[in-house]
Amino acid sequence: MTTWLVRLVARVPVTVHAKLLAAFLAIVVLLISVGAVGLQTLNTVNRRAENLVQLQRKIAAYRQLQHDTTSQLYSVSSAVLVPNARTLEATLRQLNQFGYDLDRLQFVAKDEVELLGRVREDYDQFIKVVTQVVDLIRAGKVAQGREVQLAQAGPLADRLERLTNELVNKAEADMVASIDAAHEAYLTSRWEVIGFAAGAIALALALGYAISWSLIEPVRRMDERLKLIASGDFAGRVEIPNADELGALAGNLNRMSEELGRLYAQLETTSRHKSEFLANMSHELRTPLNAIIGFSEVLLERMFGELNPKQDEYLQDIMTSGRHLLSLINDILDLSKIEAGRMELELTKFDLPAAMENALTLVRGRAEAHAIALTRDVDRRLGEFVADERKLKQVLVNLLSNAVKFTPEGGRVEVRAAPADGAVEISVSDTGVGIAPEDQEAIFEEFRQAGSDYTRKREGTGLGLALARKFVELHGGRIWVKSEVGKGSTFTFTLPGRPWPAS
């Protein structure tokens, strides 16, 4: 149900802004509706309360009329028993009070017209009888007044009392019925409000869920697709049902992925052709270079006679340049093999401290020529190690050569090695010019060097660190640098320990 609702909202061909605005307006309408239902319920409760108040006033007025009837009869009886001006005045005053209360009932009990009419008729007769009794008493005919009081006033008073009792009982019954009706109305209204509020909340939640997930789900899918694209997977597509901006964005993402895949395939082909070309050219160049170096060595050994100083100098330059070019060609060949996936490790068991000493020996001459101190600090626990010895030496030579190359005269270069969590950690530190933070990752890329003026004055192809990283990663290790401009650099790499297979 929820998935269907999300898809329905997603397929609505309007903008995201319009969907959000519609959702907010719908929630506002629901809130207004809940408020309207609440106001209607309050209005109903208010009417019930007003009705109860009206009934209470009627009951109070009826009871007052009941009291007036009893008081009137008592006043007449007192006037008959004690005929004087005070009791007669009280009787007439009580008659006026009864009339006032009866007139007031015309406004309080408008729906009891019949009963009140009968009370009015009996009251009018009662007034005539009481007036007659008072006139007889004033005329000194007390006995005759007593007879009239007993014969006529008493029955009228009893009938008035019955009528007022009937009014009171009817009003009390109406009040009980009204209270019951109010209670029932309260229960009904309560469940109506609760039901409407629950329905409004459910609708708001469903609407919020549908709107939010119609936005979140496409973003989540596109995020997952972007991660796959970043990892090199250009074949997949992101499919979302949205007919809004997110749908357009997904379409653009799919087109971008297809274009990137096409470009990546072209780049792979180009890179493969480049690697094959470099490998072939390097292979073709190595043979004549080896011949040049070999013939130079033969001539320098005076096997065909003595050389004059100028010839000796030129031959030294030829041999040095040839070896440098051969080293560059070997580096290019190694990179080509790694990129083509043809580079394999030749694992052997060797003495690690001795291999480090051999690497130091290869750069010691250049270091001494520039008065740079070379030191070694190898943990005594290190001895035999299983790795590709040639590639490990190449990593060390590349790092040490760079350290010597970029360390001013009088500086210091130190190589350290120590075990670390089942691996060996080797670092090469120098007191050279240092590397700027923005260059510390770029220097491990092919044909890249740090951007300082000092480094640009030093010869180099930018392949040494790139090869070092690839050789270390081939072993399953990693390499990194910590450096500060003007204070030197420390290159550190780790190689995991490998067991040597039993013979």
What's the pLDDT at 1? 45
| Cα 53 to Cα 51: distance, rounded to the nearest angstrom | 5
Whole-number Cα distances in Å, 159 to 111, 115, 128, 171, 421 = 21, 12, 15, 18, 114
CATH number of the structural domain 245-338: 1.10.287
CB 208 within 8 A of CB 23: yes
Q: For the chain, how far is it from start to end, CA to CA, in angstroms? A: 66
CATH topology of domain 345-496: Heat Shock Protein 90 (3.30.565)
- The CATH 3.30.565.10 portion of the chain extends over 345-496
- The CATH 1.10.287 portion of the chain extends over 245-338
Strand-strand pairing, 373-378 and 412-420: parallel
| Cα 392 to Cα 374: distance, rounded to the nearest angstrom | 19
- The CATH 1.20.120.1730 portion of the chain extends over 2-215
Q: What DSSP designation does 1 have?
A: -
As given in the structure block, the two tokens for residue 422 are: 């089942």
pLDDT in tens, the chain (503 residues): 457 766 676 677 767 777 777 777 888 887 888 788 778 877 877 787 777 777 777 777 767 666 666 666 566 666 555 666 666 666 666 666 666 666 666 655 556 666 666 766 766 677 777 777 777 777 777 777 777 767 776 777 777 777 777 777 777 777 778 777 777 877 777 787 788 788 878 888 887 777 777 778 888 888 888 888 888 888 888 887 877 777 888 888 888 888 888 888 888 888 777 767 766 776 677 778 788 888 888 888 888 778 888 888 888 888 777 877 777 777 777 777 777 666 778 888 999 999 999 889 888 888 998 999 999 999 888 888 999 998 899 899 999 999 999 999 989 999 999 998 888 999 999 999 988 888 888 888 876 666 555 444 455 567 788 889 999 998 899 999 999 888 899 999 999 987 766 55
| Cα 437 to Cα 482: distance, rounded to the nearest angstrom | 9
Check if CATH label 3.40.30.10 holds for domain 2-215: no
b/e string for 28-47 if b means 16 or more Cβ within 10 A? eebeeebeebeeebeebeee
491 pairs with which residues across the strands? 428, 481
426 pairs with which residues across the strands? 417, 493
What's the pLDDT at 203? 80
CB 370 within 8 A of CB 336: no
